[in-house]
Structure 1
Amino acid sequence: MIQYQSTRGSKNIKTAAQAVIQGIAEDKGLYVPDQIPALPKKIEELVGRPYKEVAFEIIGAFFTDYTKEEMKRCVDGAYDSKFEEAEIVPVTHAGGADFLELYHGKTAAFKDMALSILPYLLTTAMKKEKEDKKICILTATSGDTGKAALEGFADVPGTEIIVFFPNQGVSQVQERQMVTQEGDNTHVFAIEGNFDDAQTGVKKIFNDRDFAEKLSAMGCKLSSANSINIGRLVPQVAYYVYGYAKLVERGQIKAGDPVNIVVPTGNFGNILAAYYAGKMGIPVKKFICASNKNKVLTDFFNTGVYDINREFYLTNSPSMDILISSNLERLLYHLSGNDGEEISRLMTALEQEKKYEVGDKIREGLKDFYGGFATVEDTNETIGKMYRENGYLIDTHTAVAYKVYEDYVEETGDETPAIIASTASAYKFADSVAHSIGLGEESDGFAYVRALEKETGVRVPKALKDLDKKEIRHKGVIEISQMPEAVEESVK
């Protein structure tokens, strides 16, 4: 059975169900599997299989304490008609690369792929562990996780869901998606700060034992829907395996041929899932980590030094406006040879000195990665060029990935087939996308949605249609220091 341990050395081993419920380890570390399972079936056996079947095999390989019946219920409940495309994840060839379209779920962003199944994984885990307390899902968002978590957990019995987002740090469409969320157990707060402030505030709440006891007395237990929760991370591995099988099915590659995987990266969860797919047996030549102007990861891959002593930029790819990439800790743990003490030392240095430098062993493992970044101007140019030359509309985050991929090919001459994670509908960032393809000024984000549809004929996702007409239900704007109080009030 695969068990879960903390990245910071705690000897307190958990089952998958226990790790999903707890979210974060008691020593502040993140849960990782004690081994990465091999692909449960050969690639040839996965070719032509529907997404649901691939997800069942891959997620089940990690979460071995869930019975086959339990896992089937989770997968069947998650990947159904709530996705607008029958195949769940279409793979579109454009501009010399294959785009894994991860945004056809209820909120039009890739977070739906994991947050559609997390409520099922969590409620199943609660039954398995005979957990009688109400689970309070606490999440910081840079734009997309929040809405996807709210949508996934709205009115799920035995849960409350609380989301914090940076005030004026997300797109107008993203904000409206969150503040109009229905559900008696949903709570949304804008904070006066950026995403890193929100994420740090959430981690502080998780690591406050006195606060946890206070909530426990109120009949509540904290968990997370961020990718710090292993139940959020593991489902993402499935779509990289599916994408590879799809390329084999189409005859673009043969089983066993290498691919490059390109991921627009903020909190590092999505590219870590690609790394896990590689460790399971998907042949990956390079993991290409694409950042925006907040290029802390690009600098890290080039130097081995992670340094957040730098200016924070608000860009038109806000889900990547992050300086503290939480899931990088998991990668460092694996590359260090599972050295919890070393990871604890690095994370303490990050907390106290805002930087750390990795040793030779980790540096060696980093050679599998390539880091690059794109400016706002690069991003806009890429969207315009992709639309003009290929008739393919991409959002700002996907454009960052494609631009960095182009830079990588130019720099290395490597023409290995590439799978690019396309992480959001262009309509979530309609103003930037509209300007990039040459449309004029509109009154607000929703007018840009309408103008973009009229110009391109690309269907607006159901989730975004008439969003501006929905009632605003969550109006709270709070200081960072008020986050614990907001949690307490929400669970009363």
Structure 2
Amino acid sequence: MFYKSTRNSSIRVESAAAIAKGISEEGGLFVPETIPSISMDELKSLAGMNYAQRAAFVFSKYLTDYTDAELRYCTESAYTTKAFDTENIAEIAHLFEGTYMLELWHGPTCAFKDMALQILPYFLTTAVKKLHMDKKVVILVATSGDTGKAALEGFKDVPGTEIMVFYPVEGVSDMQKRQMVTQEGENVTVCAVKGNFDDCQSGVKKIFTDHKVLEALEQGGMTFSSANSINWGRLVPQIVYYVSSYVSLAESGQIAYGDLLNVVVPTGNFGNILAAYYAKMMGVPLGKLICASNINKVLTDFIRTGVYNRNRQFYPTASPSMDILISSNLERLLYLLTGEDDAQIREWFTALAEQGTYEVTDAVKAKLTEQFYGGFCDDAETKATIAELYKKYGYTCDTHTAVAVKVYEDYRKETGDTTKTLIASTASPFKFSASVLDALGKKPADDVDEYDMVELLHEASKMEIPQSLAALKTKPRRFEGSIDKSEMQQFVLQELHLS
């Protein structure tokens, strides 16, 4: 299996190189040359396997330059009860008739990013050995809250690596910020940026392709990689939980093999729902892919109109990990929907960078709406949904998952589609305690800190407090202060002692 760049189809590298590089030198994203298939017999053969075994099977389809032994090492090291608080790794809760909650937040940082970022360090260090690289790998990460902590936790003290995380100074929850600024590890750096997530993401992408920075890195014996979902090593682990969930639901008799299963994903950067699309294209019987946005509804508007336009007001919301106006992984989808037309991708994404907007062809729009449905809700609807789920089912969810539930309810009313449905639950409610408590009618006083809020939510929800969050209370803050977005490049060079 070779990987091509979305902006230059003539580039062909194996998966180890794609994972080590993170992003192609001209700014394109790596995609597999072909989407491998998975037969119904193969799906059935995954019944009875644990999560690590299912993951190794899926990876064997995509990472063909990794040996079976290497894939077993990666999966068995990442998906353990040492890192996750459940043997199943991803739990499925039966919410109401024909609707299932895929809980992806049982890892060490209580967010779905752990599903990929616990294994990425193993993929990357294995790739470095396979490629005989003798350089330190510097991982740059832009985060809207969850990716940063998950990447820091995955890469802390991993030999031969350095990780630097940039987050928007006012764009993450108190708990997300606390998780990052208290991060342990000798090879980690965390920096707040005066701006929003898109500023962080654009800054990181610019650094990746700046020739002066790359020359300085080369002279210093270093190379860049990414832990954002622009890295294929972040995306391919997300395909696994859609394959695994389908098998688990069939295994438990909730669906029959061959039945369609809709998928709902709260998304900002489009990686999680793109993984569901890959699973569907492989042959997993998934139906409509429902893309749920908050009031920063650039993806909803795009799916409905074919026009992508980031020139709009940016709203900080109660679901901050989705406060994104530039959805990086959409580039991979559009590359596929255009028949791998790299010239068209270059044109659209140059227009996005320079004018902030582009419009796809009617043919692409038709393919898009055939596979995807886009919907959104605001903060008031998000909190009302949290309260409704709690009242009706005794189920407590976070603000991002609530967006998905509300958009799914709207989809059912609009279409009458009663196909059984899997909703991706992307974070523990304890990461957003203030908003969840407010939704439950238990708004805390202004002088209550995030730890008291966690305790209050524990009392209200009867859910166990994740140990990793409880332990933060006594950890010292290591990273303070902030920089302007224009200072990111110089900050990187200074931290790496290259200037």
Aligned to 1:233: 235
Aligned to 2:402: 399
Aligned to 1:460: 465
Return the alpha-carbon distance in structure 1 between the equivalents of residues 483 and 473 of structure 2: 23
Work out whether 1:335 is the aligned partner of 2:337: yes
Query: In the alignment, residue 491 of structure 2 is paired with which amino acid?
Result: A
Work out whether 1:184 is the aligned partner of 2:183: no
Aligned to 1:204: 206
User: Normalising by the residue count of structure 2, what TM-score does the alignment of the two structures yield?
Assistant: 0.97
Question: Per-residue deviation at 1:210?
Answer: 1.7
Query: In the alignment, residue 21 of structure 1 is paired with which amino acid?
Result: A
**Residue deviations 1:257-282 (CA, integer Å, cap 9, x gap):** 10100000110000000000001111
Aligned counterparts, 1:94-133, within 5 A = 94-96=95-97, 97-133=99-135
CA contact (8 A) 2:3 2:15 kept: yes
Query: In the alignment, residue 154 of structure 1 is paired with which amino acid?
Result: K
CA contact (8 A) 1:188 1:476 kept: no
Question: Per-residue deviation at 1:451?
Answer: 0.3
Return the alpha-carbon distance in structure 1 between the equivalents of residues 471 and 16 of structure 2: 38
Question: Per-residue deviation at 1:353?
Answer: 1.1
Question: Per-residue deviation at 1:320?
Answer: 0.2
Aligned to 2:260: 258
SS state at 2:8 partner: coil
Question: Per-residue deviation at 1:484?
Answer: 1.2
Show structure 2 runs of 5+ residues with no match. Answer: none
Work out whether 1:419 is the aligned partner of 2:418: no
Equivalent in 451, 456, 472 of residue 451 of structure 1: 456
Aligned to 2:302: 300
Shift of the 425–379 alpha-carbon distance from structure 1 to 2, 3 Å rule, reads same
* Deviates further, 464-473 or 371-380: 464-473
Aligned to 1:5: 4
Query: In the alignment, residue 204 of structure 2 is paired with which amino acid?
Result: V
Aligned to 1:479: 484
Query: In the alignment, residue 394 of structure 2 is paired with which amino acid?
Result: G
Aligned to 1:92: 93
SS state at 1:424 partner: coil
Aligned to 1:171: 173
Return the alpha-carbon distance in structure 2 between the equivalents of residues 221 and 440 of structure 1: 47
Aligned to 2:15: 16
Return the alpha-carbon distance in structure 2 between the equivalents of residues 67 and 330 of structure 1: 26
Equivalent in 360, 371, 376 of residue 374 of structure 2: 371
Return the alpha-carbon distance in structure 1 between the equivalents of residues 92 and 379 of structure 2: 26
* Deviates further, 33-42 or 169-178: 33-42
Work out whether 1:244 is the aligned partner of 2:249: no
Shift of the 440–361 alpha-carbon distance from structure 1 to 2, 3 Å rule, reads closer
**Residue deviations 1:354-391 (CA, integer Å, cap 9, x gap):** 10000123112102100000100010000010011101
Aligned to 1:316: 318
Equivalent in 253, 274, 278 of residue 276 of structure 2: 274
Aligned to 1:154: 156
Equivalent in 429, 432, 436 of residue 429 of structure 1: 432
SS state at 1:420 partner: strand
Task: Give the aligned CA root-mean-square deviation in angstroms.
Answer: 1.0
SS state at 1:13 partner: strand
Work out whether 1:67 is the aligned partner of 2:67: yes
Aligned to 1:32: 31
SS state at 1:178 partner: helix
SS state at 1:222 partner: strand
Return the alpha-carbon distance in structure 2 between the equivalents of residues 221 and 256 of structure 1: 45
Return the alpha-carbon distance in structure 1 between the equivalents of residues 451 and 386 of structure 2: 19
Return the alpha-carbon distance in structure 2 between the equivalents of residues 171 and 291 of structure 1: 18
Return the alpha-carbon distance in structure 1 between the equivalents of residues 491 and 466 of structure 2: 32
CA contact (8 A) 1:271 1:287 kept: yes
Return the alpha-carbon distance in structure 1 between the equivalents of residues 264 and 489 of structure 2: 37
CA contact (8 A) 2:451 2:470 kept: no
Query: In the alignment, residue 275 of structure 1 is paired with which amino acid?
Result: Y
Question: Per-residue deviation at 1:10?
Answer: 4.3
SS state at 2:351 partner: helix
* Deviates further, 124-133 or 91-100: 91-100
CA contact (8 A) 2:238 2:272 kept: yes
CA contact (8 A) 2:434 2:443 kept: no
Query: In the alignment, residue 178 of structure 2 is paired with which amino acid?
Result: R
User: Normalising by the residue count of structure 1, what TM-score does the alignment of the two structures yield?
Assistant: 0.98
Return the alpha-carbon distance in structure 1 between the equivalents of residues 443 and 297 of structure 2: 30
* Deviates further, 229-238 or 470-479: 470-479
Aligned to 1:409: 412
Return the alpha-carbon distance in structure 2 between the equivalents of residues 294 and 486 of structure 1: 29
Query: In the alignment, residue 128 of structure 1 is paired with which amino acid?
Result: K
SS state at 2:479 partner: coil
